[in-house]
Amino acid sequence: MNEKGSKAATARLWEVAGGGISVAGGEPDSEGSWELAELVDAFYNDEAEEEDVRPAATVSELREAAEAADPAAEWIRAKAEAVVAGSSSESDELLRQKVVRKIQRLGFDAGICKSRWKTTAGVPPGSHEFIDVIVDGETRYIVEINLAGEFEIARPSADYVALLDCIPKVFVGRPAALEVVLEMMCSASKESMKNAGMYVPPWRRRKYMREKWFGDYRRWMEIPVSSRGTVAAGPRSLGRWPEAQMDRLRVQGKSF
């Protein structure tokens, strides 16, 4: 970036900081507002660090990554989709609680995970909630009831909108599958915003987005149903695949 461009960029950052930064839903909040220096540092450092990010994904590549699922993931997704479809007017927070209670009642180890992170170099503070399900005590599936919403950006290109549209409404996948989707979407969002003449803010960069699902988190298995009580997680045997379902999958020659 030349000196003239650098000064212009800095001026824009001052303008943003002077007007205050207010971002909703898992993005920077009042708990840990960062200094202007942090924002400027994030802008310059991340520009340099992410130059080698892979080219934006095609629709077919992203669909393959987002929809890749084994029988367990497909089963969990079907149950979660049924809950979401039947409660479309509910907030995301209540939907997550309903999905977890449903999956727990069916005999799975399901919980709500909340990640929270502080300011680090180039990464503003934030928090995020998602669902996870543990099958057979060892295989972890991440459930997002609106994964596409986590990647929405201003003034998206037609190509970027097409990518958003191919992400399943309810995503269920192992962490490795989510990581592939994250890498693809972060690259695509960067390309879309740059083509629109926009700078990519720290809370839309790869390092920030990774903290949502791959940073430190706390997990709750007791889900509040009112101010007066909770629904217990259930017995320690949760997370075992229902035997009837296992038998059906064995007949079909599937395993996981």
Over residues 208-256, the pLDDT tens digits come to 999 999 999 999 988 765 433 444 443 333 444 444 444 444 344 334 3
In the structure, what pLDDT confidence band is assigned to residue 89 with cuts at 50, 70 and 90? confident
In the structure, what pLDDT confidence band is assigned to residue 121 with cuts at 50, 70 and 90? confident
- Asked if residue 207 has pLDDT above 60, the reply is yes
- Asked if residue 32 has pLDDT above 50, the reply is no
**For residue 57, what pLDDT is reported?**
63
Judge contact between 123 and 208, C-beta under 8 A: yes
Here the tokens at position 69 are 């699922």
Bigger pLDDT: 254 vs 204? 204
CB atoms within 10 A of CB 191: 18
Bigger pLDDT: 162 vs 60? 162
Residue 115 phi/psi, 5° resolution? -95, 145
Paired with 128 in beta bridges are 115
**For residue 24, what pLDDT is reported?**
35
**For residue 237, what pLDDT is reported?**
36
- Asked if residue 172 has pLDDT above 90, the reply is yes
Q: How far apart are alpha carbons 81 and 86 in whole angstroms?
A: 8
Average pLDDT in the chain:
75
Judge contact between 65 and 177, C-beta under 8 A: yes
- Asked if residue 103 has pLDDT above 90, the reply is yes
**For residue 66, what pLDDT is reported?**
74
Nearest-10 Cα torsion for 154, 51, 203, 95? 80
Lowest mean pLDDT among 20-24, 192-196, 200-204, 207-211: 20-24
Judge contact between 103 and 223, C-beta under 8 A: no
H/E run at residue 190: helix 175-195
Domain ranges of the chain: 3-251
In the structure, what pLDDT confidence band is assigned to residue 55 with cuts at 50, 70 and 90? low
Task: Give the side-chain half-sphere CA count within 13 A for 150.
Answer: 29
* pLDDT above 70: percentage of residues in the chain: 64
Distances (CA, A) of 8 to 13, 42, 81, 172, 195: 9, 16, 46, 42, 18
Mean pLDDT of 44-56: 49
2, amino acid identity: N
In the structure, what pLDDT confidence band is assigned to residue 39 with cuts at 50, 70 and 90? low
All residues at 6 or more sequence positions from 72 whose CB lies less than 8 Å from its CB, including other chains: 135, 139, 141, 241, 256
**For residue 36, what pLDDT is reported?**
52
All residues at 6 or more sequence positions from 143 whose CB lies less than 8 Å from its CB, including other chains: 76, 77, 80, 99, 110, 130, 131, 132, 133, 170, 171, 172
Lowest mean pLDDT among 123-127, 140-144, 252-256: 252-256
Mean pLDDT of 43-55: 49
**For residue 96, what pLDDT is reported?**
96
Q: How far apart are alpha carbons 251 and 246 in whole angstroms?
A: 9
Mean pLDDT of 8-36: 43
b/e string for 147-167 if b means 16 or more Cβ within 10 A? bbebbebeebbeebeebbebb
b/e string for 73-103 if b means 16 or more Cβ within 10 A? bebbbebbbebbeeeeeeeeeebbbbbbbeb
**For residue 63, what pLDDT is reported?**
76
Does the pTM surpass 0.75? The reply is: no
Q: How far apart are alpha carbons 66 and 180 in whole angstroms?
A: 8
